[in-house]
Structure 1
Amino acid sequence: MAEQPLLLVDVDGVLNPTGRQRGDFRTYDCVTSGTLYKVRLNRTHGTWLLTLAQNTGAALIWATTWEDAANDWIGPPLGLPTLPVIPMPPSAPPARGRGFGEMFKTPYVADYVAGRPFVWFDDAVSEADEEYLRHRSDVGEFLLVQVSAERGLTRDDVDRAGAWLGDRPRERRGSG
Structure 2
Amino acid sequence: MPGSAPRPLLFLDVDGPLIPFGPRPGPYPAYPVDAAHGAGGNPLLARIAPRHGARIAALPCEPVWATTWGEDANTWISPILGLPPLPVLDEPEPSVTDDQDARAGRHWKTRALVARAAGRPFAWVDDEITAADRSWVAGHHCAPALLHRVDPAIGLTDGDWTALARWLRDPH
| Normalised TM-score (structure 1) | 0.79
Counterpart of 1:14?
A: 17
1:44 to 21, 45, 51: 51
For the pair 1:141 / 2:148, whether they are aligned, the reply is no
CA distance in 2: counterparts of 1:125 and 1:150, whole angstroms: 15
Q: Is the 8 A contact 1:110 1:139 kept in 2?
A: no
Unaligned runs of 5+ in 1: 170-176
Q: Whole-Å Cα distance in 2 between the matches of residues 50 and 68 of structure 1?
A: 19
Shift of 1:120: 0.8
2:121 is aligned to 117
Q: Which amino acid aligns with 1:22?
A: P
Alpha-carbon offset, residue 133 of structure 1: 0.6
Match of 1:86 in 2: 89
CA contact (8 A) 1:6 1:116 kept: yes
Alignment check: 8 A CA contact 2:10 2:64 kept: yes
User: Does 2:160 align with 1:160?
Assistant: no
Q: Match for residue 40 of structure 2?
A: 30
Instruction: Give the distance between the partners of 1:132 and 1:13, measured in 2 at CA.
Output: 22
Are the equivalent residues in 2 in contact too, given 1:46–1:80 (CA < 8 A)? yes
Q: Which residue matches 1:172?
A: none
Following superposition, the deviation at residue 95 of structure 1 comes to: 7.9
More helix, by proportion: 2
Tell me the CA shift for residue 157 of structure 1.
Answer: 0.6
Query: Contact 2:19–2:44 (CA<8 Å) still a contact in 1?
Result: no
Alpha-carbon contact 1:94-1:107 (below 8 Å) kept = no
Give the gaps of 5 or more residues in structure 2: none
> Between the two proteins, what is the percent identity of the paired residues?
35
1:29-54 deviations in Å (ceiling 9; x for gaps): 336xxxx56332110111111111xx
- The alpha-carbon distance between structure 1 residues 94 and 135, as it changes in their structure 2 partners (threshold 3 A), is farther
Superposition RMSD in Å: 2.3
Partner Cα distance (1:123, 1:117) in 2: 20
Distance in 2, matches of 1:110 and 1:95, equals 14
1:2 aligns with 2:5: yes
One-letter code of the match for 2:116?
A: Y
User: Residue type of the partner of 1:43?
Assistant: P
Please, which of 78, 88, 108 is the counterpart of residue 75 of structure 1?
78
What is the one-letter code of the residue matched to 1:92?
P
In 2, distance between residues paired with 1:50 and 1:127? 29
Q: CA–CA distance in 1 between the matches of 2:96 and 2:83?
A: 27
